[in-house]
Structure 1
Amino acid sequence: MRRRWSIAGQLFALQVLIVTLLVAAGTAGAVLLARRDARNAAVEEVTGVAQAIAHSPFVADALTSPDPTALLQPYTEATRHATGTDFIVVMAPDRTRYTHTTVSLIGKPFAGTVGAALAGGTVIEEYEGSLGDSWRTVVPVRKGNDIIGLVSVGITTDNINRSLLRQVPAVAGATGVALLLAGLGAWLLSRRLRRLTHGLGPAEMTRMYEYYDAVLHSVREGLVVVDRDGQVALINDEGRRLLGVPEGKLDLPAEAAELIASRRTTVDEPVLAGDRVLVASQSETRFEGRSLGTVLTLRDHTELRELTGELESVRGLTAALQAQAHEAANRLHTVLTMVELGRTEEAIDLATAELALAQQLTDQVVGAVEEPALAALLLGKSAQAGERGVELTVEPDSRLDSERVPTRDLLTVVGNLVDNALEAVALAEPPRRVRVLVRQDEREVLVRVSDTGPGIPADQADAAFRRGWSTKQGPGRGVGLSLVRQVADRYGGSYAIASGGDERGATLTVRLPAS
């Protein structure tokens, strides 16, 4: 395949062409200026020589002598050799030559313009005479007020050109140095550009940009590219959606900004961004041993976490139902045995008491909370609490009869608070109790969960709602209360931790303004 020129190669060729044209134009201009200067210098020289001869008393006396040629020819030839001019002609006013470089032309008429000189002025012209093309000047010779003769001094064009040719080596040298320096600068620039563009051509770079842009905007993972200075260089569409960053802005959520600023390498680290739980992975990017910055990839973990929470709830409820099935089987065997023993009344009382206890819990929860999803959540948590040996009680004054807050956010708050309370009291000394209060009024929805667990130290109450804080070690910890905080912040509500009603434990209270 025919190799295409890279951007650096094309730029180098273009620069060389432009520099060559500029140097050629400059050289041509310099030659023209030098030629003009040489012509002006020649004109000044012949004018000065002619005026010097015309003002010489010797020349004026010779012109009035019987044989002007005998006196003037040796004088003008000596002057011509001394001044480097090509001819000096002293003539009568009627153009008759008294002197000339070519002796055979003496006595013959002068070829050229003399009108202005006869009028007392000076003639300067380029004229092709007997010696060829030349620049000449004609001035009058005066004696008193009379013009008794004329002096013409000239330099041939060939002589002027020879003087210019003597300057050619210097001009050529300067031109060569200019071309060399310009070519060297263009080569260095193209070399740096080739290094920056990795030798790619315009079509390749255009195609690469189009492909990369299409990929960045179509991938289903958020991507944040950070340069060496820690500035965000690029965020793709999915990254803006996950981080909640509008187009044209780079205001990242606090936790994402902190992770980027740390520049640390991490894999699948949970990050909160608004009401989303994101899984972030960050690594350093390098090319040929140089650090280019970092790349942060983001995946939405919110829906997966919700599904995981629902699955854990189902598993807990299933385990609780299995335990209750065993308990129910034991009680049923007991009732049947009592019937076989003829103790029917006691069997009926035992069965009725068990049914009444279960129905009482259901009636209490359903009667207090008309929201079906929240009622189902509390019943499921009650079964989990029973399996763990924890007494979960819904406060009698709980009341939620309308959707003041969206169900999803309410389940997030209540579910995470109850889960934390159950974990706190599961390993505590008896009595192990959890009390739940969900109440609404015209202004707000109040959620309060109290437990008899070990409690939370007062100096860590604020930190408990930050992501990553937990009393237990392990992956996935320290997210529940941070989600509660996110919901409260989004609604402009409040959250607080206080000591429990008993001597131990904690009470977590969340207030959400009703909208």
Structure 2
Amino acid sequence: MSGRRRLSSRILISLLVILTITSAVGFGLLAYAQRAELDRQAEQRALAIAETTAADPQIRQSMQDGGSGDTVQQIASRIETLSHASYVVVIDLHGIRHSHPHPELVGKQVSEPIEVRNGNPWVGIDHGSTGRSANAKAPLYGLDGALVGEVSVGIPERDIVQGFTSELTAFALYIGVALAVGVGASYLLARSLKRSTFGLELHEIAGLLQDREAMLHGIREGVIAFDPAGRVSVINDEARRLLGLGPALGETLEDLLPEGRLRRALSGELLSSSGSDELHVLTDSHCLAVNRMPVVLQGRELGAVVTVRDRTEIVGLLRELDSVRGLTDALRAQQHEFANRMHTLAGLLELGEQEQALEYAVELAGAERGLVAGIRERIDNSLMVGLIVAKTTVAAERGVRLVLEPESCLGADPGHLRRLLTVVGNLLDNAVEAASGSSPAEVRLLLRESPDEIEVRVADSGPGVPAGCAEAIFEDGWSTSPDRGTARRGLGLALVHRLVTRHGGTIEVSEGPGAVFRVRLPLPDSDPAPLGAVFTAAPPVLASGPVPGHKPGQEPELALTQGGARW
């Protein structure tokens, strides 16, 4: 319990000291001001007594006659007694006293000058023979109106001190009440602050802050925390790097990111509350896994924490593994086909049909050479030829025929080669998968190079793009097929779209049965980029209806028109 009270006690003591000091200073200033006010009031009271005395007809007559006799002393003593003044002294213009509380001083000359010769009263503090007092002097006129002297009256300091003491007692009571209220408020504030810090002491809070900073900026995971209002309260360097953000503290996702899948994923719209990494999101240069978890502490909702993991290399490796598996399946199919051919040749030789066996072997060799030669007649680039031959084998193993359009033509060193390989590979993979299972199962490829652009067109005989999904199909994560367990679905078309639009190209897709994708990349290629780079998405250019040259429902052309090789 003492540990939990430490912070609140420190806050309470600090506020109590502050309140005490400020109350003492305020009390002193108030006392000083009140004493000055009481002195002023005493001076005005003394002036009123002095003017009353100076207006007495007997004193005026006596002073006009020279002030002889005891009349002035008797009247002044009576007024002094009635008014509780410390003294009432009547002085002529020569400075001679005609009345005084001490009779032995009557007839003696005062040491101070006459202050009222100009006819105006005077007030001040006097330190005379009767002690400190508030003093006032009023001009004294004879009955004929001539100035004959002055009346000096003093109010004793004890009267001022008594009034000052009574008022200070009230002031002290008020300040004590205010101080007590301040102490109570300080105690409540300390308890409230203690609850706000969840019972942590100052050194514990400082240690947590240091640990948090070291952890946040030391891990290789992006971390973003949002407060209950949706503003960014914590963000580490890795999150800024992965998401391309600058100073983001205090801002909302709407201020930081444009509308799109990434913003919806970070806000939790695309994620469930299970806490698992459910989504890969593409940015300009990364493929990310996003996780969002709400934060609740002691029943209070404090916002949410989003973690972002870079999965670019892993996704690339998984896609490469998936491609290798496809090639392995194709090689296995070729092995089976090769074994069948060898068994046929062996059987013919065993039967002594040497000539027929020779013809069979020559026919097989010619067909294989014809396949490659037929592609070579239209495609001069060896990398692209190898890609098409490999995709042809994979497609055949899945029961899909791949047709290279007769008007295809591509030079030996075309522009955008690396990007072109990525685009063609991804589009053919999607097309073969879509056409698999249809009847007839067919994919048609057009590669055409002109001085201004390179055109890629891939058409398949599959179910096509659902109505209204022509835009969504290019978003990362969009797919009509389940994940295969290795490569994440819905990334291929997003990669192609970013790749094409980043380099000034366009990509079109038709809706309805038999999807047709058309890609145009402008020439010359002024910005070569590494194969597999990921680029910023832009709105797709949509096309409706079939692309010229492809007729859905028509019996597919299953062979190259030159070279005689069939796929």
Instruction: Tell me which interval the TM-score lies in, with the shorter structure as reference length.
Output: 0.7 to 0.9
* Distance in 2 of aligned mates of 1:58 and 1:246: 96
Query: Does structure 2 retain, via aligned residues, the 8 Å contact 1:253–1:273?
Result: no
Alpha-carbon distance, 1:58 to partner: 2.0
Q: Would the alpha carbon gap of residues 441 and 299 (structure 1) be closer, same or farther in structure 2, given more than 3 Å must change?
A: farther
Aligned to 2:242: 242
Q: Aligned partners of 2:483, 2:436: CA distance in 1, in Å?
A: 18
Deviation at 1:510, TM superposition (A): 1.6
| Structure 1 unaligned spans of 5+ | none
Listed as ranges, the matches of 1:57-96 within 5 Å are: 57-61=57-61, 68-69=69-70, 71-72=71-72, 75-90=75-90
| SS of alignment partner, residue 47 of structure 1 | helix
Return the match for 1:484 from 493, 496, 514: 496
Shift in Å, 1:350: 1.0
Q: Which amino acid aligns with 1:134?
A: S
Matches within 5 A, 1:353-392: 353-365=363-375, 368-392=378-402
Q: Given the alignment of the two structures, is residue 444 of structure 1 paired with residue 456 of structure 2, yes or no?
A: no
Q: Structure 1 pair 179/344, CA: closer, same or farther in 2 (3 Å)?
A: same
Cα distance in 2, alignment partners of residues 230 and 177 from structure 1: 44
Query: Shift in Å at residue 345 of structure 1?
Result: 0.6
Count of aligned pairs: 507
SS of alignment partner, residue 68 of structure 1: coil
Query: 1:85 aligns to what SS in structure 2?
Result: coil
Matching of residues 312-351 of structure 1 within 5 Å:
312-351=322-361
Q: Displacement, 1:224?
A: 2.9
1:59 Cα deviation after fit? 2.1
Distance 1:198 1:115 in 2: 77
Given that 1:275 and 1:483 are in contact with CA atoms closer than 8 Å, whether structure 2 keeps it comes out as no
C-alpha contact (below 8 Å) 2:88/2:153 kept by paired residues:
yes
Tell whether the 8 Å contact from 2:27 to 2:175 is kept in structure 1 after alignment: yes
The answer to whether structure 1 residue 231 and structure 2 residue 219 are counterparts is no
| 2:402 and 2:444 in contact (8 A); partners too | yes
Residues 35 and 164 in structure 1, CA contact (< 8 A), matched pair in contact too: yes
Deviation at 1:255, TM superposition (A): 1.0
- Structure showing greater relative contact order (alpha-carbon pairs closer than 8 Å, 6 or more residues apart): 2
Please report how far the alpha carbon of residue 286 of structure 1 lies from its aligned counterpart in structure 2 after TM superposition: 2.5
Aligned partner of 1:306: which letter?
G
How much has 1:206 moved relative to structure 2?
A: 5.5
Does residue 399 (structure 1) correspond to residue 410 (structure 2)? The answer is yes
CA distance in 2, matches of 1:465, 1:124: 96
Q: Matched residue of 1:399: which SS?
A: coil
Paired position in structure 2 for 1:454: 463
Q: Deviations over 1:320-351 (max 9, x none)?
A: 22222222222212212211222101001111
Give the RMSD, CA atoms, in angstroms: 3.7
Asked whether 1:277 is paired with 2:287, we answer: yes
Deviation readout 1:353-399 (Å, 9 max, x if unpaired)? 12222232233445644555443332222222222222223334242
Distance 1:5 1:466 in 2: 55
Give the match for residue 266 of structure 2: 260
Distance in 1, Cα, partners of 2:203 & 2:443: 69
- The 1:452/1:147 distance shift into structure 2, 3 A limit, reads closer
How far apart are 1:114 and its partner, in Å? Answer: 5.1
Moved more, 480-489 or 367-376: 367-376
Q: 1:509 to 1:107 in 2, by over 3 A?
A: closer
The residue identity in structure 1 corresponding to 2:305 is V
TM-score (norm 2): 0.77
Equivalent position SS for 2:46: helix
TM-score (norm 1): 0.84
Higher helix fraction (1 or 2): 1
d(CA) in 2 for partners of 1:301, 1:136: 94
**Deviation readout 1:20-41 (Å, 9 max, x if unpaired):** 4443333222222222222222
Q: Residue 451 of structure 2: SS of its match in structure 1?
A: coil
Unaligned runs of 5+ in 2: 249-254, 526-567
SS at match of 1:270: strand
Q: For residue 466 of structure 1, what is the amino acid of its counterpart? A: E
Q: CA deviation at 1:5?
A: 11
Structure 1 letter corresponding to 2:263: A
* 1:271–1:122 distance in 2 versus 1, CA, 3 Å: closer
Which residue in 1 is equivalent to 2:158? 158
Paired residues of 2:12 and 2:187 also in contact (CA < 8 A): yes
Q: Distance in 2 between matches of 1:359 and 1:439?
A: 23
State the alpha-carbon separation in 1 of the partners of residues 409 and 31 from structure 2. 104
User: Structure 2 vs 1, CA of residues 442 and 189 (structure 1 numbering), >3 Å: closer, same or farther?
Assistant: farther
Alignment-derived partner of residue 219 in structure 1: 219
The alignment partner of 1:41 has SS state of helix
Q: Which of residues 460, 470, 473 is equivalent to 2:479?
A: 470
User: Compared with structure 1, are the counterparts of its residues 340 and 235 closer, same or farther at alpha carbon in structure 2 (3 Å cutoff)?
Assistant: same
